[in-house]
């Protein structure tokens, strides 16, 4: 079968290479999935460019955590799925419910060392690490959900309690997590404030549910705009995808008793002003979000179906053009998610 591999020691996009591997055979508790679509996350770019945190890969690795496809065979003990079922993989295969377990190889996510991912024609996965794709979603749309979708759901609807009607949410940028957060917050009846450096992207965000837009190039102290828009109160929740470079402003933007969900590192790993005193005086909380478990995924899917939510797919690339998909992600031109069709 055809796969893509990130070569051991890769630090450029040239390290993403097409390769051949034997088609896997499912074990007794596994199903064999013919992959139909996979989507990219910033994590995947970090892996191939050599700045992904943690131990480097000891061997060539099949990348991507997020993918959907059709079950074509099932092991002898499988009870949850049968051939013909449409399925999407969970980010951390062994995390079914409850809080995360202690770190270790058993908690490794798909597409990151040491666990191969889904950018392959066929993948054998444990039946517990899959959920059923609703009829309302295509394979391409379903493939966007395991990391970005579940992360946004956890940030808004699980960690620190769910967002409620009439509350306010701050989202940063227009990537996958942020746009899912816009859609989930609006479905919950919340007001959404979105930041971006692009007026065109802000206009698109408004069409998907953002209530107020801040161009941070014109307003570099954008936390002041957040406070102005909220009458000095701040927002009830911040979906923080920037990291050290934006965290201080996010903590200034959150209101009394609110929450900041710490997700990404898009501004890099450089030191920043992360003193938490702004949270202390407001009784606000900082939550670290490590994607989420299968129960969160299933709850999210119920909400997606009930509210008619359609994941935002910016562009779909063919399997032959996988490296071009990575380059497009690196360009930061995308709005929503980037998908590779298999």
27 in a domain, yes or no? yes
Structural domain count, the chain: 2
Confidence at 55, pLDDT banded by 50, 70, 90? confident
Per cent of the chain over pLDDT 70 is: 95
Which residues are bridge partners to 235 per DSSP?
Answer: 254
Whether the ω angle into residue 140 lies within 30 degrees of 0, i.e. cis, is no
pLDDT at 103: 59
13 and 137 housed in the same domain: yes
Confidence at 267, pLDDT banded by 50, 70, 90? very low
327 in a domain, yes or no? yes
Residue 67: CATH number of its domain = 3.90.180.10
95 and 127 housed in the same domain: yes
- Say if residue 58's pLDDT is above 90: no
Residue 216: CATH number of its domain = 3.40.50.720
pLDDT at 291: 96
First-to-last alpha carbon distance for the chain, in angstroms, is 12
307 in a domain, yes or no? yes
Query: What is the extent of the structural domain holding 94?
Result: 2-146+292-341
pLDDT at 272: 54
How confident is the model over 22-28, as a mean pLDDT? 98
pLDDT in tens, 197-231: 999 999 999 999 999 999 999 999 999 999 999 99
pLDDT in tens, 122-153: 999 999 999 999 999 999 999 999 999 999 99
235 and 271 housed in the same domain: yes
Cα R_g (the chain), whole angstroms: 20
- Say if residue 53's pLDDT is above 90: no
pLDDT at 245: 82
Collect all residues with Cβ–Cβ distance below 8 Å to 303 and sequence separation of at least 6.
153, 157, 184, 187, 309
pLDDT at 244: 80
pLDDT at 198: 96
Q: Among 206, 63, 89, 91, which Cα is nearest to 148's?
A: 91
How confident is the model over 232-244, as a mean pLDDT? 94
Take residue 306 and report the two structure tokens written for it: 């009930």
77 in a domain, yes or no? yes
103 and 182 housed in the same domain: no
C-alpha count within 13 angstroms, C-beta hemisphere, residue 184:
30
265 in a domain, yes or no? yes
Cβ atoms of 285 and 261 closer than 8 Å: no
122 and 183 housed in the same domain: no
327 and 239 housed in the same domain: no
Q: What is the C-alpha to C-alpha distance for residues 42 and 31, in angstroms, rounded to an integer?
A: 28
190 and 223 housed in the same domain: yes
pLDDT at 243: 82
pLDDT at 334: 96
pLDDT in tens, 70-113: 999 999 999 999 999 999 999 999 899 998 876 554 567 999 99
52 in a domain, yes or no? yes
Take residue 129 and report the two structure tokens written for it: 């690490």
Take residue 246 and report the two structure tokens written for it: 């934006």
151 in a domain, yes or no? no
270 and 297 housed in the same domain: no
pLDDT at 107: 65
pLDDT in tens, 160-182: 999 999 999 999 999 999 999 99
153 in a domain, yes or no? no
Confidence at 274, pLDDT banded by 50, 70, 90? low
122 and 228 housed in the same domain: no
């Amino acid at each position: 079968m055809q796969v893509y591999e990130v070569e051991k020691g890769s630090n450029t996009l040239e390290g993403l290479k097409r390769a051949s591997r034997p088609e896997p055979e499912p074990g007794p508790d596994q199903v064999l999935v013919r992959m139909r679509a996979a989507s990219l996350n910033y994590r995947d770019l970090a892996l191939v460019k050599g700045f992904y945190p943690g131990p480097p890969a000891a061997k060539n690795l099949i990348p991507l955590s997020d993918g959907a496809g059709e079950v074509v065979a099932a092991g002898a003990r499988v009870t949850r799925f049968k051939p013909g079922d449409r399925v999407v993989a969970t980010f951390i295969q062994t995390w079914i419910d409850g809080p995360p377990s202690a770190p270790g190889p058993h908690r490794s996510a798909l597409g990151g060392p040491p666990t191969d991912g889904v950018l392959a024609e066929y993948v054998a996965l444990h039946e517990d690490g899959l959920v059923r794709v609703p009829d309302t979603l295509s394979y391409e749309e379903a493939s966007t959900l395991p990391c970005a979708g579940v992360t946004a759901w956890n940030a808004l609807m699980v960690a620190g309690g769910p967002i409620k009607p009439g509350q306010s949410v701050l989202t940063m940028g227009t990537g996958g997590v942020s746009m899912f957060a816009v859609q989930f917050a609006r479905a919950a009846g919340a007001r959404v404030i979105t930041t971006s450096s692009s007026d065109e992207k802000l206009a698109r965000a408004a069409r998907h549910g953002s209530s107020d837009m801040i161009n941070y190039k014109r307003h570099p102290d954008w936390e002041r705009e957040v406070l102005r828009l909220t009458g000095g109160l701040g927002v009830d929740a911040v979906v923080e995808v920037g990291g050290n470079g934006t965290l201080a402003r996010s903590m200034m933007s959150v209101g009394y008793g609110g929450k900041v969900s710490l997700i990404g590192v898009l501004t890099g790993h450089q030191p920043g002003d992360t003193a938490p005193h702004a949270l202390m005086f407001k009784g606000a909380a900082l939550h670290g979000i490590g994607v989420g478990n299968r129960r969160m995924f299933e709850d999210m899917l119920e909400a997606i179906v009930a509210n008619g939510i359609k994941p935002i797919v910016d562009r779909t690339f063919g399997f032959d053009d996988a490296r071009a998909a990575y380059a497009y992600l690196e360009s930061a031109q995308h709005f929503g998610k980037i998908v590779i069709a298999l």
